[in-house]
A = this chain, B = another copy of it.
């Protein structure tokens, strides 16, 4: 997202820190993915940014939703999203959440181990099951595979077990890891998942029809990224090559970051600059516990300092406003040499996984969210 005049004006007007978002960019992102993979059913991963305005815009576009908890399900229901537009994709659901989701009418669940299937069979009998497999994550910023997903052999066992539990095994999902830079990650995954499709048909008579390609489409930060068109092309080619004979195949996608990441800018302010030993420190009113949680894993945002875009840069330690040593953003942020008190610092493309992790730590509230659509 560009730092438009409206954004600059907001930075001067509103109390910092805040996230400013553009709903039209969210819409563009949705349409781009829809065009890149025609017929694909998009389930927006609500956890990336659950602001009501974003959910409403995507609802109006016909989006479906990937939900992680009963809290997200209820929020969507209140917005008029029907349960048939949701996939309960968290592989570790509370039993009472499963039961409540089922009561509401949700029938599509993800599982990646036997106990989860048993929980679903008990609390949501007869529901549809997508089994999640772990795939290569090495080209992503956040490899997920250890915590989530099962191996291919266990996957076929789970699909068979689902059937035995009188659930309806309908598909396989995978996640190439958040912020994945290599389209081949998707085609390699599809090649493997295709083997599962054919194996369970041949051996169990299970006809799967859902290929869930998860999320992982990257947002532009400092490194070059493939376009969504390139990723879509790769996915379609892989589907044609490895799954040519599947009847009624539907591709699901669960994008989170790529729907909202580049639709937002986190606007913060310098509250202190000082020398500590040989280091120059800059402290902001945003920090790890106030919008920038992802930086503790060294996630790199593009930083712009208002009015000092052309100044010579030097390295600073950049930290947040709390009395907590963990609240350090970067050890080596390149910032204008003359950055000082009250300067505005923009974190570009920070629409995903920022305010969602917000805390009230140190009595400091989480950043507010504004929309450029509301600015005059």
Q: Which residues of A contact B (CB under 8 A)?
A: 45-47, 50, 67-73, 75, 89-95, 112-116, 119, 134, 142-144, 146-148, 150-151, 271-277, 279, 281, 283, 285, 289, 296-297, 317, 319, 321-328, 341-342, 356-365
Among A92, A144, A325, the most chain B Cβ lie within 10 Å of the Cβ of A92
Q: Does B272 contact A116, Cβ atoms closer than 8 Å?
A: yes
Q: Which of B134, B142, B147, B289 contacts A328 (CB 8 A)?
A: B147
Q: Does B71 contact A323, Cβ atoms closer than 8 Å?
A: no
A359 and B362 in contact, given A47-B323, A92-B271 (Cβ under 8 angstroms) = no
Q: Does A361 contact B356, Cβ atoms closer than 8 Å?
A: yes
Q: Which of B70, B143, B317, B364 contacts A69 (CB 8 A)?
A: B364
Chain B residues lying within 8 Å of A73, measured Cβ to Cβ, are: 363
Q: Does A277 contact B362, Cβ atoms closer than 8 Å?
A: no
Which residue of chain B lies nearest to A154 when distances are taken between CB atoms in the complex?
A: B275
Q: Does A90 contact B150, Cβ atoms closer than 8 Å?
A: no
CA of A321 to CA of B277, assembled, Å: 41
Which residue of chain B lies nearest to A137 when distances are taken between CB atoms in the complex?
A: B325
Chain B residues lying within 8 Å of A72, measured Cβ to Cβ, are: 362-363
Q: Does A90 contact B272, Cβ atoms closer than 8 Å?
A: no
Q: How many whole Å from A242's CB to the nearest CB in chain B?
A: 25
Which residue of chain B lies nearest to A144 when distances are taken between CB atoms in the complex?
A: B325
